[in-house]
């Protein structure tokens, strides 16, 4: 395909002229594309576009033959053919290949250029938008000339502050739940965080009668002494979360040392290389996996003081604590855990110094584990330790012959186990409920006088809550765990009564402190009033005599006020205080005047009573 005749006639002499002048037609090998386009844009410089070479990124060996040999496409006009670069006259297939090669070489630079320009455009747009917003807000406060500079500085400061706040928030609380909780706290503050856990706690009606000693749990736990906290961890009751709180979330003089990648932490007493906590995350499963009450009471003293001589062993107080959970939710959670392959084969179940035999405690499965078992099969096994697990782990199994079911009838055995579990739970130093996390934290802090760093979180969505069961299956689970149902009802009643008792006690203590503060301020006021009155009488004795014909009237009035205050105080304070004041008055020197003692005795008595109350 040849060029049009008109284009050939116009291009022929010029091409010959340019070929005859090598100084003008030869171009350097690294000639820039911009210079080539400028040369091509000049009228009559088609040869310049020929010498411009291939586009940047395309090697010169790609098409080493002169491009004039290729038949160019016909142009619509002569001016277009003269001004267009010769690259546009190539066939479409060759141009596509050259574009692909150029794109392959310049893809990285193209991406960087697009990203840079995009970010610049975005920043420019944000700057204009925010500057417009701030200009409308701060226009009454700033002048028109300095508005742009001030708004830009303010905008930059606010953006930097916002980014810093976001980084700090992500560092402190990386999860989304904590951020949602903070947003809810700012939007709708809760007056009572403990009452928001369960709506039924506000309508709680006690069913059991407990004594004051059962409700008031105040343990004199000295972490620097020899006492020990023992955590009885029942499966699927939230004990793992509570155990982590004990080693990672509690304010101590010497906090527990927890290393990354290790479950156990070192919890030593201040100044001693001895632990104050016996739990999974401090001493490990020293008495077996999920040891029960029977195992811990016989194992913990031997593990802690086993290496010492019996004469050198200190007299320790072992404070047992545990966590309970709703029996149906706990049962479903354990079934889901067994489905995933949990077996708890490492549990020893030691009772009376020996583990149970295979006849006393048969297994519910034959393989390595019971993974994938359906709920019906899990409920049908009569030897399943998940049934009434909480009663069994909190009771003294030696009272019923351990795991030997032939010692006593089943009905009597169940009654003994339930009463033993209730007694042990009531006399424990502390127990909490999974359904009341904040109340559990509050009672633990009041019992042991130890505070946690961050509040507990109530998780209402668990694996057990995701299991959908009908009413028939729920009734069967409750029947299989009827002892646990009775124990949980007892524990919940005792737990909520203890909580209400401690909260009422806190309110009374706060009211008493406010009354003492008011009495103290009142005493300070009376003291300054009496002092100013006595100073005024001593400075102007003649004026007082002239104005008042009875000079003993003011003194009698002051004595009456002080006597009435003294009588009121002596009725509500310690009677031994009067004897102390009489002794102090007898020790006074003979040089003191009687009038000074009469005017100051009432004030001193009042201040002494206030100091005694403080």
Give the tokens for residue 348: 């020893």
Residue 335 sits at the vertex; the CA angle it makes with 329 and 341, to the nearest 5 degrees, is 140
Helix 482-539 with 327-339: angle, nearest 10 deg = 120
Q: Name the catalytic one among 233, 245, 290, 349.
A: 290
Q: Identify whether the C-beta of residue 448 lies closer than 8 Å to the C-beta of residue 317.
A: no
Give the tokens for residue 77: 């006009």
Alpha-helix runs per DSSP H in 173-223? 176-187, 212-215
Helix 92-105 with 107-138: angle, nearest 10 deg = 70
Q: Rounded to an integer, what distance in angstroms lies between the CA atom of residue 25 and that of residue 21?
A: 6
Q: Rounded to an integer, what distance in angstroms lies between the CA atom of residue 573 and that of residue 569?
A: 6
Annotation marks residue 507 as catalytic: no
Q: Identify whether the C-beta of residue 602 lies closer than 8 Å to the C-beta of residue 566.
A: yes
Q: Identify whether the C-beta of residue 390 lies closer than 8 Å to the C-beta of residue 396.
A: no
Give the tokens for residue 91: 């066939």
Give the tokens for residue 274: 């001895």
SS percent in the chain: helix, strand, coil, step 5: 55, 5, 40
Q: Rounded to an integer, what distance in angstroms lies between the CA atom of residue 70 and that of residue 51?
A: 15
Quote the radius of gyration of the chain (alpha carbons, Å): 45
Q: Rounded to an integer, what distance in angstroms lies between the CA atom of residue 401 and that of residue 385?
A: 17
Q: Rounded to an integer, what distance in angstroms lies between the CA atom of residue 443 and that of residue 216?
A: 10
Which residue is associated with the tokens 């810093």? 164
Chain-centroid distance, C-alpha 215? 30
Q: Rounded to an integer, what distance in angstroms lies between the CA atom of residue 135 and that of residue 151?
A: 7
Give the tokens for residue 490: 């007892």
Give the tokens for residue 214: 């059962």
Beta strands in 218-269 (DSSP E): 228-232, 257-258, 265-266
Dump the DSSP string for 538-561: HH-HHHHHHH-S-THHHHHHHHHH
Which residue is associated with the tokens 């000693």? 213
Stated as kind and residue range, the H or E segment containing 231 is strand 228-232
Q: Determine the length of the chain.
A: 614
Q: Rounded to an integer, what distance in angstroms lies between the CA atom of residue 439 and that of residue 598?
A: 55
Q: Rounded to an integer, what distance in angstroms lies between the CA atom of residue 200 and that of residue 254?
A: 39
Q: Rounded to an integer, what distance in angstroms lies between the CA atom of residue 154 and that of residue 217?
A: 56
Q: Rounded to an integer, what distance in angstroms lies between the CA atom of residue 392 and that of residue 385?
A: 9
- Active-site residues, by number, are 290
């Amino acid at each position: 395909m040849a060029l049009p005749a008109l284009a050939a006639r116009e291009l022929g002499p010029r091409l010959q002229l340019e070929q005859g002048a090598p100084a003008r037609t030869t171009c350097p090998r690294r000639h820039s594309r911009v210079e080539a386009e400028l040369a091509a844009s000049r009228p009559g410089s088609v040869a310049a576009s020929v010498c411009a070479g291939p586009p940047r990124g395309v090697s010169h060996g790609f098409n080493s033959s002169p491009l004039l040999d290729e038949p160019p496409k016909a142009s619509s006009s002569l001016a277009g053919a003269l001004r267009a670069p010769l690259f546009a006259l190539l066939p479409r297939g060759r141009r596509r290949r050259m574009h692909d090669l150029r794109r392959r070489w310049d893809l990285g630079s193209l991406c960087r250029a697009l990203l840079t320009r995009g970010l610049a455009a975005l920043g420019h747009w944000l700057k204009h938008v925010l500057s417009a917003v701030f200009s409308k807000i701060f226009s009454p406060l700033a002048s028109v000339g300095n508005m742009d500079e001030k708004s830009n500085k303010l905008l930059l400061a606010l953006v930097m502050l916002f980014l810093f706040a976001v980084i700090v928030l992500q560092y402190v609380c990386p999860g989304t739940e904590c951020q949602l909780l903070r947003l809810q706290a700012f939007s709708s503050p809760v007056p009572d965080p403990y009452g928001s856990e369960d709506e039924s706690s506000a309508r709680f009606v006690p069913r059991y009668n407990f004594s004051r000693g059962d409700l008031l749990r105040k343990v004199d736990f000295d972490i620097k002494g020899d006492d020990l906290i023992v955590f009885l961890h029942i499966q699927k009751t939230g004990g793992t979360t509570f155990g982590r709180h004990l080693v990672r979330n509690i304010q101590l003089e010497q906090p527990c040392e927890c290393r990354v990648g290790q479950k156990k932490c070192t919890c030593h007493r201040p100044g001693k290389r001895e632990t104050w906590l016996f739990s999974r995350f401090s001493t490990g499963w020293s008495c077996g996996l999920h040891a029960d009450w029977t195992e811990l009471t016989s194992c913990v003293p031997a593990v802690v003081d086993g290496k010492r001589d019996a004469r050198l062993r200190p007299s320790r107080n072992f404070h047992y604590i545990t966590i309970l959970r709703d029996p149906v939710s706990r049962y479903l959670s354990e079934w889901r855990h067994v489905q995933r392959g949990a077996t708890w084969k490492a549990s020893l179940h030691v009772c009376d110094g020996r583990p149970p035999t295979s006849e006393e405690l048969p297994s519910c499965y034959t393989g390595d584990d019971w993974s994938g078992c359906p709920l019906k099969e899990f409920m049908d096994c009569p030897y399943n330790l998940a049934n009434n697990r909480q009663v069994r782990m909190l009771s003294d199994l030696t009272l019923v012959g351990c795991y030997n079911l032939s010692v006593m009838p089943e009905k009597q055995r169940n009654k003994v186990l339930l009463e033993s579990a209730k007694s042990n739970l009531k006399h424990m130093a502390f127990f909490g409920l999974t359904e009341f996390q904040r109340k559990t934290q509050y009672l633990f802090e009041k019992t042991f006088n130890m505070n946690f760093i961050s509040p507990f979180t109530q998780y209402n969505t668990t694996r057990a809550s995701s299991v959908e069961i009908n009413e028939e299956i729920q009734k069967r689970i409750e029947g299989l765990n009827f002892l646990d149902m009775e124990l949980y009802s007892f524990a919940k009643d005792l737990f909520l009564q203890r909580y209400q008792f401690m909260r009422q006690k806190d309110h009374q203590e706060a009211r008493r402190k406010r009354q003492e503060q008011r009495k103290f301020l009142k005493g300070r006021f009376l003291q300054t009033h009496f002092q100013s009155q006595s100073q005024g009488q001593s400075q102007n004795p003649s004026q007082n005599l002239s104005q008042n014909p009875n000079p003993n009237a003011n003194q009698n009035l002051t004595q009456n006020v002080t006597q009435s205050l003294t009588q009121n105080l002596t009725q509500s304070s310690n009677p031994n205080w009067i004897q102390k004041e009489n002794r102090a008055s007898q020790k006074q020197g003979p040089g003191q005047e009687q009038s000074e003692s009469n005017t100051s005795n009432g004030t001193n008595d009042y201040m002494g009573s206030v100091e005694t109350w403080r």
